[in-house]
């Protein structure tokens, strides 16, 4: 199974796994092999929030993110032109540019999203939570 982690899901995986729902834990720790992915939009969001003082990390963002990607064997997915164009064409249910990029990354790569944000479903995304 291949899954895309929302920004909060990645942070929780790395530092607060108790935040996951029972269903999300069941999928993440289930019997099926799981390949985890993170959009570069999430990496940008974490780095920007850290630099603005809105997110406290134990190390600088580059060090922390790269370490956590390796520890959890999470592969990053680029913000491609296709992802950008799809993001711009999404209905205006939500204006957060990072979420819109994550949603379009999900669509381009045909990946369910691990997220507690149920509004992602209004974009036709499969949500695991």
What is this structure's pTM? Answer: 0.94
- pLDDT, averaged across the chain: 95
Residue 44 has what pLDDT?
98
pLDDT digits over 11-52, tens only?
A: 999 999 999 999 899 898 887 899 999 999 999 999 999 999
CA 59 to chain centre: 20
Q: pLDDT, tens digit, for every residue of 85-102? A: 999 999 988 889 999 999
Domains and CATH numbers, the chain: 2-128 (3.40.50.1010)
CA distances from 76 to 3, 4, 21, 109, 111 (A): 11, 9, 23, 12, 13
Query: 4, 112 in Cβ contact below 8 A?
Result: yes
- pLDDT at position 78 over 90: yes
pLDDT of res. 93: 87
In the numeric block, the tokens 């592969």 are attached to 75
Does residue 7 have a pLDDT over 80? yes
pLDDT at 77 over 90: yes
């Amino acid at each position: 199974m291949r899954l895309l982690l929302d920004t909060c899901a990645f942070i929780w995986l790395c530092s607060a796994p108790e935040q996951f729902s029972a269903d999300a834990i069941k999928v993440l720790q289930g019997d099926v092999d799981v390949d985890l992915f993170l959009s570069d939009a999430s990496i940008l969001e974490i780095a920007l929030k850290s630099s603005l003082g809105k997110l406290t990390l134990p190390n600088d963002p580059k060090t922390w993110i790269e370490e956590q990607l390796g520890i959890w064997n999470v592969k990053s997915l680029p913000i491609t032109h296709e992802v950008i164009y799809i993001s711009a064409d999404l209905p205006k249910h939500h204006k957060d540019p990072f979420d819109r990029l994550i949603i379009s990354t999900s669509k381009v790569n045909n990946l369910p999203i691990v997220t507690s944000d149920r509004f992602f479903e209004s974009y036709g995304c499969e949500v695991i939570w």
